[in-house]
Amino acid sequence: MSDLGIGLIGYAFMGAAHSQAWRSAPRFFDLPLDPQLNVLCGRNADAVEAARVKLGWKETETDWRKLLSRDDVQLIDVCTPGDSHAEIAIAALEAGKHVLCEKPLANTVEEAEAMTAAAEAAKAKGIRSMVGFTYRRVPAIALARQLVAEGKIGTIRHVRAQYLQDWIADPEAPLSWRLDKAKAGSGALGDIGAHIVDMTQYITGDTIGEVSARLETFVKERPVAAEHSGLSGTAGTERGPVTVDDAAVFLATFRSGALGVFEATRFATGRKNAIRIEINGSEGSLAFDFEDMNLLHYYDAGDDARTAGFRRILATEPDHPYVGAWWPPGHLLGYEHGFTHQAVDLVTAIADGTDPAPSFADGLQVQRVLAAVEASSNSRQWQEIAG
Ligand code: SOE
């Protein structure tokens, strides 16, 4: 079996999650190519060396451009803040490297368009790219999509989605790159709202056509971080501005005519990583909450009224998407498994010469929805999504 050399840029929260995925994918799934954790890249030589040892990589680089000329790197995995996604991904594709890019694809629609054009040009040369909307690969979510596609809930009328966190509900929680518009593009909207846009469109097979939105920044100034990694940090003495939204709410119409209600917030005290989705169709409903991520709730409107009710499907059977490679039924999966499934699907697509999903074009479409949400909040008008 041939090797697939990986060069991963970034080693904080997402870098650790992706490292784990590259390590475990070939150990549980029969892959057509063997991912090699060849090079971990970050700007701080000492910190990246410490991360290399901890996360299991062979070598380090401190300049991502060096990855592009290395023969032992065939795939660049971009786990940096959004402000560098476009530059790195486009250069990598032009250098003939496959690319996995964290979500949201970019900080602006223009960047996402340029990335999509680069991805299309590279595709003609057999180079593949994918954007990291990992929650699609939670077995219960992939199962929900299958059930919708099989017509089990009929015509979709309502899409209800919430992504609820509370890691900055404390006004003294320090600033991080995720609260800086120049680095992150937007706040709760792009960081977690993007996930529920992707997940609901994935499950329904439909796309959002129009939105009416409101963004809010509840805490406008915070301590500058003395030191920060992932979602936690220690506060320094200075204070600085929060330049992104803390929360985003919006109404949406899907192109099929279904109505959507979306909410993304970092201020839902007590909710750590709740992703709640409910879809109501003419023949039944589906409901999911990531805080109980192995379960999918299914209501069949055709059931005998005396015994009808939401059915609790434990998505851990070998017949459920991805699950056969893991543990016996009832032995639960966690957050990290979505990243492993993402690695599996990407490696398989590269070997098969097929287009992995979600593609950069899919990432661009989500970016257009995010931009329309922001525009609607600013204009106080409904905004149509192009395309
Ligand atoms: C922070 O809100 C975060 O880490 C997101 O950036 C991830 O995409 C999400 O999976 C968990 O929360």
Q: Where are the domains of the chain?
A: 3-134, 136-357+365-379
Measured in Å, residue 96 CA sits from the centre of ligand 1 at 29
**C-alpha span between 211 and 376 (Å, rounded):** 7
For a ligand 1 pocket test, name from 131, 192, 197, 232 the mutation site with the most ligand atoms within 8 angstroms of its C-beta: 192
Mean per-residue pLDDT for 320-336? 98
24 Cβ below 6 A of ligand 1? no
The answer to whether 323 and 332 are in contact (CB under 8 A) is no
- Which of helix, strand or coil describes residue 231? coil
> Given this model, what pLDDT does residue 225 score?
86
| Close Cβ partners of 179 (under 8 Å, ≥ 6 residues apart) | 168, 187, 222, 242, 243, 244
Is pLDDT of 228 > 90?
no
79 Cβ below 6 A of ligand 1? no
Measured in Å, residue 147 CA sits from the centre of ligand 1 at 27
pTM: 0.97
The CATH-assigned architecture of domain 3-134 is 3-Layer(aba) Sandwich (3.40)
Would you state the structure tokens that stand for residue 23, as one six-digit string?
Answer: 């390590």
Measured in Å, residue 256 CA sits from the centre of ligand 1 at 29
**Dihedral sign for Cα atoms in the order 248, 254, 257, 258:** negative
Nearest-atom index, ligand 1, CA of 195: 8
Looking at residue 152, the DSSP 8-state letter turns out to be T
> Given this model, what pLDDT does residue 237 score?
84
Q: What percent of the chain has pLDDT over 70?
A: 100
198 Cβ below 6 A of ligand 1? no
The β-bridge partners of 4 are 35
The CATH-assigned architecture of domain 136-357+365-379 is 2-Layer Sandwich (3.30)
**C-alpha span between 256 and 13 (Å, rounded):** 37
Is pLDDT of 2 > 90?
yes
pLDDT tens, 138-172?
A: 999 999 999 999 999 999 999 999 999 999 999 99
Is pLDDT of 329 > 90?
yes
Same fold, 3-134 and 136-357+365-379: no
Measured in Å, residue 14 CA sits from the centre of ligand 1 at 8
Nearest-atom index, ligand 1, CA of 335: 10
Would you state the structure tokens that stand for residue 283, as one six-digit string?
Answer: 């023949």
Beta strands at 3-9 and 295-300: parallel, antiparallel or unpaired: unpaired
Sheet holding 3-9, edge to edge: 59-61, 34-41, 3-9, 75-78, 98-102, 129-132
Measured in Å, residue 191 CA sits from the centre of ligand 1 at 6
286 exposure class (CB count in 10 Å sphere: 0-12, 13-18, 19+) = buried
The β-bridge partners of 162 are 263, 276
Measured in Å, residue 260 CA sits from the centre of ligand 1 at 22
31 exposure class (CB count in 10 Å sphere: 0-12, 13-18, 19+) = middle
Residue length, the chain? 387
- Kindly list the distances between the CA atom of residue 221 and the CA atoms of 117, 171, 184, 192, in Å, as whole numbers in the listed order: 38, 8, 17, 21
pLDDT tens, 89-104?
A: 999 999 999 999 999 9
Sheet holding 295-300, edge to edge: 311-314, 295-300, 284-289, 274-281, 156-164, 259-265, 247-254, 208-216, 383-384
